[in-house]
Structure 1
Amino acid sequence: MLRWLALLILVALPAWAEEVVLGLSQNEVAITTSFNGSEILIFGAVKREAPMPEGELGVIVTIAGPPEPVTVRRKERRFGIWVNTEAVEIDGAPSYYAVASSAPLDEVLGIRENLEHRVSVTSKLNAVGAPDTVLDASAYVAALIRINTAAETFQLLEDQVVVDEDTLFRTRIRLPAALTEGAYGTRIFLTRDGEVVANYETTIDVRKVGLERWLFTLSRENPFWYGLMSLAIAIAAGWTASAAFSVLRN
């Protein structure tokens, strides 16, 4: 009985099943005092248990930073000056989000699949949303996307995933200098004619190390001593600059 059940399960599985075998140039990013960004090489292969199926193969890679609340403010011109008026806080927006694809995103991923897996930055943020009391929430979401795109913390990298022989793939994604500490969720999607046929998830850990970690921990756990140390450094730096200026003037 069990043998027949196993056979039925195998028959029910799609013959075109494919899997992702992934590699990362690094799965940890260390933030130091001289950190100015990092480039991650993501590479892998498509594992198949059957002949390659028909349909155009697409590969999509996403990296999402830790979620955090973001306040988006609307500015209006009043009495000749620009002032902040309404403000909306969007909970759970990714601090960083990048999407790389082997072709234009709308060619390798269908609309329904995009909404289901929340791949594009728009679908990602629309899923987070704004409070129900805001009537034009989409305008605030669009503003957040525009601001973060300009700052390169939101990236759309179309045609940046190289696929060789419909089997091997690779891409490079640059992480900016202003990174939030935490786990960066990394997803890889394989698509055929716009439908997701396989996906894989892993994480990249971003952590402060060395002096940066010590200062960060001190400021959180011992703010009094951190303040005294900052004050002492400022006084010493001012005195040194003043002494150097006096020597040069004489």
Structure 2
Amino acid sequence: MARLLVFLLLFALPAQAERVVLGLSQDEVAITANFTGSEILIFGAVRRETPMPSDSTLGVIVTVSGPSLPVTVRRKDRRLGIWVNTDVVEVDAAPSFYAVATSGPLEEVLTHVEDLRRSVSIPRAIRSVGADISGTENFTEALIRIRSASDNYQLLEGAVDVEEQTLFRTEVVLPANLTEGDYSTRIFLTRNGKVIDEYQTVIPVNKVGLERWLYELSRDNAPVYGILALIIAIASGWAASAAFALLRR
């Protein structure tokens, strides 16, 4: 009897009407010695099991988040003619890279409650729970401003193209100063600002080739790495001096 009730309950639940089917232009990003950044094309479609709703417009949000790490944010004030650190806030975790691409204005495709629940917007992706300094939001805003200037934080409103409320695509440009690790990619489908489906995958970002060898050498054998760096510096200086002397002749 119990099994029959469970079966009837599951049968009575409505099937999820719209789901994400995702595609990526590349499954991983390789950081080489001459790495200058990368561009990832994120595309997909909406799979429907019921007719498309006619009373609302489909919204699509794509987020790409790098590894989250603690960050120390300092505030400088002028004291006796000298700029000194006055206040310090320890941010518990902030993504090293974070991009939010939307099919329209963020406040229109996602409600405030959904943002609180899923941490979609850039400020919500930063956690600063333990800070006890008044005006902590100013430190968070400063962190966002600094990282936005270097393209490590990106708000791309209207950058997701949606065709016939079924196909969608967007491009996210990764800067050259990427932090190695797994980059979480999330896609949200929304209607009336509420999330109706979510899909998540991971894009690995790793150093390869000479960059990987130098990185591992610096971690595993620091003395050898230091000697090698010194030899390279001396050789570079000697080569520059020789080239300059040759030009003067």
Q: TM-score, normalised by structure 2?
A: 0.95
The equivalent residue for 1:68 is 69
3-state secondary structure, aligned to 2:20:
strand
Paired AA for residue 195 in structure 1: K
Q: Deviations over 1:46-103 (max 9, x none)?
A: 1111111242210000000001121111011122232222222212210000000000
**Distance in 2 separating the partners of 1:202 and 1:102:** 20
**Distance in 2 separating the partners of 1:147 and 1:243:** 41
Please give the root-mean-square deviation of Cα atoms over the aligned residues, in Å.
1.4
**Distance in 1 separating the partners of 2:73 and 2:5:** 59
**Distance in 2 separating the partners of 1:60 and 1:119:** 9
3-state secondary structure, aligned to 1:55:
coil
The equivalent residue for 1:115 is 116
- The answer to whether residue 29 in structure 2 is matched with residue 29 in structure 1 is yes
State the shift of 1:141 in Å.
0.8
The equivalent residue for 1:216 is 215
State the shift of 1:107 in Å.
0.3
The equivalent residue for 2:247 is 248
- The answer to whether residue 162 in structure 2 is matched with residue 163 in structure 1 is yes
The equivalent residue for 1:178 is 177
Identity score, percent: 58
**Distance in 1 separating the partners of 2:113 and 2:184:** 22
State the shift of 1:11 in Å.
2.1
Runs of 4+ in 1 over 6 A off after TM superposition: none
**Distance in 2 separating the partners of 1:63 and 1:10:** 36
3-state secondary structure, aligned to 2:178:
coil
State the shift of 1:218 in Å.
0.4
- Could you list the runs of 5+ residues in structure 1 that have no partner in the other structure? none
Contact 1:191-1:197 at 8 Å conserved across structures: yes
Q: Where in structure 2 are the equivalents of 1:94-243 lying within 5 Å?
A: 94-125=95-126, 128-243=127-242
Paired AA for residue 44 in structure 1: G
**Distance in 1 separating the partners of 2:207 and 2:131:** 37
Contact 2:72-2:89 at 8 Å conserved across structures: yes
Number of matched pairs: 247
3-state secondary structure, aligned to 2:185:
strand
**Distance in 2 separating the partners of 1:24 and 1:83:** 47
Contact 2:92-2:130 at 8 Å conserved across structures: no
**Distance in 1 separating the partners of 2:92 and 2:124:** 15
**Distance in 2 separating the partners of 1:218 and 1:200:** 38
Paired AA for residue 155 in structure 2: L
Contact 1:101-1:161 at 8 Å conserved across structures: yes
Paired AA for residue 48 in structure 1: R
3-state secondary structure, aligned to 2:130:
coil
